[in-house]
A and B are shown apart, each in its own frame.
Chain A
Amino acid sequence: MWVYQKMLQYPARVRSTNPRLAKVVITQYGGPDGELAASLRYLTQRYTMPIPEAKAALTDIGTEELAHMEIIATLVYNLIRDASIADIKRAGMDGYYADHDKALYFVNAEGAPWVASYIQSKGDPITDIHENMAAEQKARSTYEYLIQLSDDPDVTDTLRFLWQREIVHFQRFGEILNLLHDYYGRQHVFDMKGWDPKGGQ
């Protein structure tokens, strides 16, 4: 089960109302490489992991991603909370406003809603961990683009924290991949578990 802690993982500071920045930062809420996708990907893959380290790491990183989702929500909420209709129109956020007012919704920077096909859960642990390492790199790149786009130094500070976390997660998944290779005996570099190259299952 999960328990809520009434605090953020990182103090998500916002300097001033900025719906234009909110419009791009929201992609880390509901976009293809965002925190919702990350969290759900890891938490759903953990059931079929064969080794204790992998079950623990997926549970714990998946949980940390939920905390990151809350940080992004806090940034977006505070960037648009005091925006006027004129501000929202000027920022090109009027389409979002028509559907959601200032509520939080899972969309990418262009307004497309989150879909489960952003993530995969393949059942093959080696495949899944490769997917996760790629996901962490994609999230890292996204944070770099957002940092380039940010004109709020306080928001940039939080984006930099989240950027660092993607690097740490990538590192942990790399270690999990090595542990899985050990577990499968290293006889096949690419996963061939349960498959005999000389024929038959």
Chain B
Amino acid sequence: MNAQQKEMLLRIMELQFAATELNLYLDTHPDDMRALQEFRMRSQELMSAKMEYERVYGPLLNYGLGMTGRTWQWIEDPWPWEVNWRRS
């Protein structure tokens, strides 16, 4: 995984975390309109960041929820546990 791919993926992971955290908060505060607004913003950002990544590096999600190009990139290494996540 090259530096640019890793950087894009780390950005997606950050956005995914923000969305996850807001999601849990909204589960117990469903009427908090400010949190809902924030969630909708993060979710938009997350979806466009994923689309941008998948266009180059293949699907992040399986079962037809990711973007599939002309080759079956889903099986391509590295898998998440094989990535060297250390800052270079």
Interface residues of A (CB under 8 A from B): 3-15, 53, 56-57, 60-61, 64, 70, 73-74, 77-78, 154, 168-169, 172, 175-176, 179
What are the nearest 8 A-B pairs in CB distance? A11-B85, A175-B28, A74-B81, A56-B27, A57-B27, A13-B85, A8-B80, A13-B86
Partner of A168, one of B12, B16, B21: B21
Interface of B is mostly: helix
B43 proximal to A (CB < 8 A): no
Q: Give chain B residues whose Cβ lies under 8 Å from the Cβ of A4.
A: 61-62
Whether A6 and B60, one on each chain, are in contact in the complex, defined by CB atoms closer than 8 angstroms, is yes
Whether A70 and B81, one on each chain, are in contact in the complex, defined by CB atoms closer than 8 angstroms, is yes
Whether B61 and A3, one on each chain, are in contact in the complex, defined by CB atoms closer than 8 angstroms, is yes
Q: Give chain A residues whose Cβ lies under 8 Å from the Cβ of B30.
A: 53
Q: Give chain A residues whose Cβ lies under 8 Å from the Cβ of B21.
A: 168
Q: Give chain A residues whose Cβ lies under 8 Å from the Cβ of B12.
A: 7
Q: Whole-angstrom distance between the alpha carbons of A169 and B10 in the complex?
A: 23
Q: Give chain A residues whose Cβ lies under 8 Å from the Cβ of B81.
A: 8, 12, 70, 73-74, 77-78
Whether B61 and A5, one on each chain, are in contact in the complex, defined by CB atoms closer than 8 angstroms, is yes
Q: A9-B20, A70-B81 are in contact. Are A53 and B60 (CB under 8 A)?
A: no
Whether B28 and A176, one on each chain, are in contact in the complex, defined by CB atoms closer than 8 angstroms, is yes
Interface of A is mostly: helix
Question: What are 27 of the A-B contact pairs (CB < 8 Å)?
Answer: A3-B65, A4-B61, A4-B62, A7-B12, A7-B13, A7-B60, A7-B80, A8-B13, A8-B80, A8-B81, A9-B13, A11-B10, A11-B83, A12-B81, A13-B85, A53-B27, A57-B24, A57-B27, A60-B23, A60-B24, A64-B20, A73-B81, A78-B81, A172-B24, A172-B27, A175-B28, A175-B29
Q: Whole-angstrom distance between the alpha carbons of A5 and B85 in the complex?
A: 17
Q: Give chain A residues whose Cβ lies under 8 Å from the Cβ of B28.
A: 53, 57, 172, 175-176, 179
Scoring B28, B63, B74 by chain A CB atoms within 10 A of each residue's CB, the highest score goes to: B28
Q: Give chain A residues whose Cβ lies under 8 Å from the Cβ of B87.
A: 13
B9 proximal to A (CB < 8 A): yes
Q: A70-B80, A179-B28 are in contact. Are A9 and B17 (CB under 8 A)?
A: yes
Q: Give chain A residues whose Cβ lies under 8 Å from the Cβ of B13.
A: 7-11
Q: Whole-angstrom distance between the alpha carbons of A175 and B13 in the complex?
A: 27
B72 proximal to A (CB < 8 A): no
**Distance between A72 CB and nearest chain B CB, rounded to angstroms:** 10
